[in-house]
Amino acid sequence: MNDDGFSAEKLFNQGYSYTYDDVIFLPGFIDFPTDAVNLSTKLSRNISLSIPCVASPMDTVTETSMAVGMAALGGIGIVHYNNTISQQASIIRAAKSHQIPFSSDLIFASPSDSIHSADEFGNSPCIFVTESGTKESKFLGVVCKSTWNGLSDKQARISDYMNVSPVTLPSSYNFEDVAGYIASKKLDFVPLVNEKDREVVNLVKATDLERMNSLPKLGLPSLGTDGKFLVGAAIGTRDSDKERLEHLVKAGINALVIDSSQGNSEYQINMIKYVKHTYPHLDVIGGNIVTKYQAENLIKHNVDGLRVGMGSGSICTTQEVCAVGRGQATAVYKVSSIAEQHGVPVIADGGISNSGHIVKALSLGASTVMMGSFLAGSNEAPGTYENKNGLRVKKYRGMGSLEAMTKGSDARYLGDTAKLKIAQGVVGSVADKGTVLKFVPYTMQAVKQGFQDLGASSLQSAHHLLRSGTLRLEVRTGAAQVEGGVHGLVGYEKKYF
Ligand SMILES: NC(=O)C1=CN([C@@H]2O[C@H](COP(=O)(O)OP(=O)(O)OC[C@H]3O[C@@H](n4cnc5c(N)ncnc54)[C@H](O)[C@@H]3O)[C@@H](O)[C@H]2O)C=CC1
Ligand SMILES: O=c1[nH]c(=O)c2[nH+]cn([C@@H]3O[C@H](COP(=O)(O)O)[C@@H](O)[C@H]3O)c2[nH]1
Ligand SMILES: [K+]
């Protein structure tokens, strides 16, 4: 019997609430190469993923572009609901209509419009002309920036000079097909059009070919039985969320997250019952929870997945405001020890700021990690980059921040104008990280190295090491945490890849 270090069972039963940084694993035995580590997993009972990564349902994290990027990587994005029903449904429809791993910004105008300034093109080489000037309208033609630049009468109506027969490709084409076509015809760009309703879905530029070639090779994407990207969505626990759900189901969601900071409530249980009864084939993820007791209650009502984390998120102030929550390492271990007995996968939500935290979450029993701040600085997150003190940043805010609550179009807070609003989150910003298509694969490679050090060649094997007591861990003192980081240098640059 190995008496070095502690088993998780012993370590997590001593009355302390531990975070990821508090604990450290002792190395195991390596008998396989890093590339033999298999990170495939389950989001929920019936949804399989090839990487354990989930984008959080937050309005500065997951809309179409993030959902597409995460599914292309083999993970999944959960689309937020701090918008109208039609906006959320349209984000989901757009994500599900993609076959290629990225989503370009598309600009639309109607034939009767005029283009007054080159700025209206943004970064796009063209403006798309549709009947109503919106995306969900019949595609009529394009105006290329070069054509507009050459116009003598800049006030002319678009209908007078647009190209009504541009080269397009069907949106069902995959990236290799589109890239091959662009290269062979020497095109600058090609719009991808949904043949059924003649809607423009995406735009691939010649520069994208080079960009994609410089990125790590993608593994298996997350696809549903219909061959389309897997996309999840979140809703709340109000009655109005039932109408929202009807539209999300029509838009094709594959998984539903019932979003609440304290998921063990009558409101949530009633919603779970409603969803399970009305849409028996939809996987329902309940949460958020941090205790065995909460988990048992939601499992009893047949949830297909559990979202774990209260107050651990980077923008969360719940533990300060409400004095309720739990250290995330303890929360993940405790909840997953119950969930595993019922075959319910656990999502470790919040507090992930490096690959080591992902290794810890998964080795303590989670099947996936949900991330907000880790993804919010990517190109795929909503919003534009700003310059702050010489640093390129994007806004990232808590869904319980005053700003997000007052923006909220649903009745959660605005309907309750008589109530005093208390924020449980902050508004901040995060540094530019480039595309998820690059930094997520590198992060997964780092996670594989962590698993190799532990002697775990898969999530199943990591969970087996955990439950059998073979995985040994310890709590790090403050000094040990300092020692485990970079220390004693005058200056340094941290570069992971
Ligand atoms: N994971 C975390 O630690 C935390 C996350 N958040 C995020 O912030 C957002 C807001 O979270 P919450 O405030 O927990 O939202 P919530 O919608 O669950 O709760 C807001 C308030 O409405 C009440 N409520 C919910 N359903 C109701 C119904 N059917 N009838 C009457 N009252 C009802 C709740 O009890 C609560 O007082 C979410 O996106 C959540 O994920 C907020 C705090 C902590
Ligand atoms: O206390 C909170 N107040 C908020 O306003 C808030 N908004 C999001 N969340 C939760 O934080 C998670 C993301 O955390 P990270 O940025 O650490 O990945 C998310 O996935 C949520 O669980 C909030 N928690
Ligand atoms: K926090």
- Across the range 246-259, mean pLDDT stands at 98
Considering only the C-alpha atoms of the chain, give the largest distance between any 2 of them, rounded to a whole number of Å: 85
pLDDT given for residue 412 in this prediction: 55
- Across the range 312-334, mean pLDDT stands at 96
Does 203 have pLDDT greater than 50? Answer: yes
Six-digit token pair at 150? 């050459």
Q: What angle do CA 36, 376, 259 make, to 5 degrees?
A: 90
CA 317/CA 371 separation, integer angstroms = 17
- Across the range 268-295, mean pLDDT stands at 98
Active site residues: 316, 412
CA 467/CA 285 separation, integer angstroms = 24
Instruction: Please name every residue paired with 142 in a beta bridge, in sequence order, or none if there are none.
Output: 128, 163
- Across the range 65-71, mean pLDDT stands at 98
Q: Could you give the residue ranges of the DSSP H alpha helices within 340-435?
A: 355-363, 373-376, 402-407, 411-414
CA 468/CA 367 separation, integer angstroms = 17
Identity of residue 6: F
ipTM summary value: 0.98
CA 415/CA 238 separation, integer angstroms = 11
pLDDT given for residue 121 in this prediction: 93
Among all bound ligands, the one having the nearest atom to the CA of 325 is 1
- Across the range 27-48, mean pLDDT stands at 98
Pocket flag, ligand 2, residue 70 (CB < 6 Å) = no
pLDDT band for 3, please (50, 70, 90 cuts): confident
Quick one: the chain helix, strand, coil %, rounded to 5?
35, 20, 45
Percent above pLDDT 70 for the chain: 98
Instruction: Please name every residue paired with 143 in a beta bridge, in sequence order, or none if there are none.
Output: 127
Six-digit token pair at 385? 């980059």
pLDDT given for residue 495 in this prediction: 85
pLDDT given for residue 355 in this prediction: 98
Q: In terms of DSSP bridges, do strands 346-349 and 305-308 run parallel, antiparallel, or are they unpaired? A: parallel
* 252, 294 contact by CB (below 8 A): no
Domains of the chain listed by start with CATH number: 8-101+220-385+433-484 (3.20.20.70), 108-213 (3.10.580.10)
- Across the range 168-193, mean pLDDT stands at 94
- Across the range 387-416, mean pLDDT stands at 82
Distance of CA 261 from the midpoint of ligand 2 (Å): 9
- Across the range 252-262, mean pLDDT stands at 98
Does 242 have pLDDT greater than 60? Answer: yes
- Is residue 104 part of an annotated ligand binding site? no
* Ligand 1 pocket mutation, candidates 61, 239, 267, 422, criterion most atoms within 8 A of CB: 267
Distance of CA 310 from the midpoint of ligand 2 (Å): 8
CA 259/CA 478 separation, integer angstroms = 34
Find where tokens 């969601």 sit: 253
Distances (CA, A) of 222 to 41, 138, 198, 208: 11, 29, 26, 22
pLDDT band for 415, please (50, 70, 90 cuts): low
pLDDT given for residue 418 in this prediction: 57
The candidate with the shortest Cα–Cα distance to 441, out of 44, 50, 65, is 50
- Is residue 69 part of an annotated ligand binding site? no
Burial 38-63 (b: 16+ CB within 10 A, else e): ebebbbbbebebbbbbbbbbbbbbbb
Identity of residue 174: N
The pTM of the full predicted model, rounded to 2 decimals, is 0.96
pLDDT given for residue 417 in this prediction: 61
- Is residue 372 part of an annotated ligand binding site? yes
First to last CA, the chain: 39
Q: Which atom of ligand 2 is nearest to the CA of 373?
A: 16
pLDDT given for residue 243 in this prediction: 98
Six-digit token pair at 465? 């090491």
Lowest mean pLDDT of 99-113, 249-263, 291-305, 352-366, name the range.
Answer: 99-113
Work out the mean pLDDT of the chain and round it to a whole number. Answer: 95
Distance of CA 450 from the midpoint of ligand 2 (Å): 25
CA 181/CA 227 separation, integer angstroms = 22
Q: What angle do CA 256, 260, 266 make, to 5 degrees?
A: 95
Question: Using the 8-state DSSP alphabet, how is residue 488 labeled?
Answer: S
